[in-house]
Amino acid sequence: MLLYIRFNNFFSFAGEGEWSFKVGKQPAESLYDINLKTTYDKFRLNKVTGVLGANGSGKTQFLKVLPFLSWFIARSAKRLESNDAILFSPFKGTEEKISNFEVGFLLKNEDDLYDEYRYELSVTTKKVYREALYQKTSRSFSYIFERINDEEIVSYKHRHFLSPSLADDANTNVSLIAYANLLDSPIAKKVVHFFSSFAFNVHPTGREEHSSEALIEAAELFNDNEILKNQVENLLCKFDIGISKLKFEQVVSFDLDQQAKEVLMPVAIHQYGNEELKFWFINESNGTRSAFILLSIILPILQKGGLAIIDEIDNDLHPHLLPHLIDLFKFEQTNPYQAQLIFSCHTPEVFNILQKHQIYLVQKENQESEAWRLDDVVGVRADDNLYAKYMAGAFDAVPNV
């Protein structure tokens, strides 16, 4: 379970950005609440968080921090050679400065209770300057490991993690957790498993497009999982008044080298009187294709738990569909493992769906992005018409036109 992330010098965020699922004790109860106990504390968390702002304000950059950390902590030791660059961009005006990240998260232990962890990272695109993992013990945090590769200080200490001789073999541009996972460290495996449970449509290089390759990947996913296949079929039939059934068929595809291969392609069945008309998904509307690909990200997370990060969730979708997608995270029937969702969008009706502690706003001034949660704005009441105030510009984070 993710608690919060703090970061700075990351893409368009020069100063500190913070994003948190923590609710606190004041807001009224919501069906998007998660209430759980850790070994030492009780937490109330959001299942869903929405991010809004004008075009170019930094919403996508705000979300990118999550896929970046997921990749770095879980996969960097497999993917990077010793001279490879670390895949992110610091703020353009401070490219030589260090970027800092802090993540709070919960992992279940053998007693089926959650333990609280904190991960810290100081890094440039060339190397890791500092990396540390802590676990909460009693009322304070104790280090599991701390690794420093500064010009003036090189040190490593640990408790039941990698021995110094093994840790010294890790490249300075990879996460020690990712490296320890390759060596079967138990705690590293738990942490990597958690950060591997993130699913997203945005990467350090940008948002994934709804391509034919994405359709094929989604078709293969649903074809291999009967439960998910039934779910996506039921939802698409609700979303698209023309679809009555969903099938998958083998077709011949050609790659860039003109090599032929068989792939699965989704097929929509439309009822016309007593006839069934078959349409390849590639010929369906942009909205139908977008919903199909979007559900291939969201439904597996709902099935097993984890975190979905969706940039522009409303892209090509009718605004009336957005509440139905968000509602999938609301109830135990569709979200039995309390999966979490963070998304960006341009649909202001989100202010009528979520509460103020579930909404972040992003704005850019002088090429620097800043983000804040709506319940941090002084004077905003829970019973305010948030939609009307946002549309009137009372919260900023709107186009300056």
Read off the pLDDT of residues 34-52 as tens digits, 9 standing for 90 and up: 888 888 888 889 999 999 9
Residue type, 231: Q
Strand pairing class (307-310; 198-200): parallel
Burial track 57-89 (b if 16+ CB lie within 10 A, e otherwise) = bbbbbbbbbbbbbbbbbbbbbeebeeeeebbbb
Rounded distance between C-alpha atoms, residue 68 and residue 154, angstroms? 25
Contact 241, 228 (CB under 8 A): no
* CATH of region 1-197+305-401: 3.40.50
Residue 188 has pLDDT above 80, yes or no: yes
3-state secondary structure of 162: coil
Element (H, E) at 166: helix 164-167
How many Cα atoms are found within 13 Å in the side-chain-facing hemisphere of 98?
Answer: 14
Mean pLDDT of 59-77: 94
DSSP class per residue in 197-234: TEEESEETTEEPP--HHHHHHHHHHHHT-HHHHHHHHH
pTM given for the model:
0.89
Share of the chain above pLDDT 70, in %: 94
pLDDT for the residue 397: 64
Give the residue with greater pLDDT, 132 vs 237. Answer: 132
Residue 181 to residue 191: CA distance in whole angstroms: 9
Q: What mean pLDDT do residues 95-112 have? A: 89
| Sheet with strand 275-280: strands edge to edge | 243-254, 260-272, 275-280
**Lowest-confidence segment of 220-224, 263-267, 392-396 by average pLDDT:** 392-396
Identify which of 23-32, 158-167, 375-384 has the greatest average pLDDT: 158-167
Predicted confidence band of residue 25 (pLDDT cuts 50, 70, 90): low
* Most confidently predicted of 57-71, 280-294, 343-357: 57-71
Sequence-distant (6+) residues with CB within 8 A of 184 are none
Looking at the DSSP assignment, which residues form a beta bridge with residue 364?
Answer: 369
Mean pLDDT of the chain: 88
In whole angstroms, give the CA distance from residue 58 to residue 51. Answer: 10
Helix, strand and coil content of the chain, in percent to the nearest 5, comes to 30, 35, 35
Domain with CATH 3.40.50 in the chain: 1-197+305-401
- Of 19, 23, 53, 34, give the one whose Cα is nearest residue 361: 53
- Residue 329 φ then ψ, to 5°: -90, -5
Inform me whether the pLDDT recorded for 306 exceeds 90.
yes
Query: What pLDDT is stored for residue 400 in this prediction?
Result: 56
Instruction: For residues 245 and 106, give the distance between their C-alpha atoms in angstroms, rounded to a whole number.
Output: 40
Per-residue pLDDT averaged across 315-336, rounded? Answer: 87
- The DSSP secondary structure of 61-112, one letter per residue, reads HHHHHHHHHHHHHHHHHHH--TTPPPS----GGGTTSPEEEEEEEEEE-TTS
How high is the pLDDT of residue 254?
63
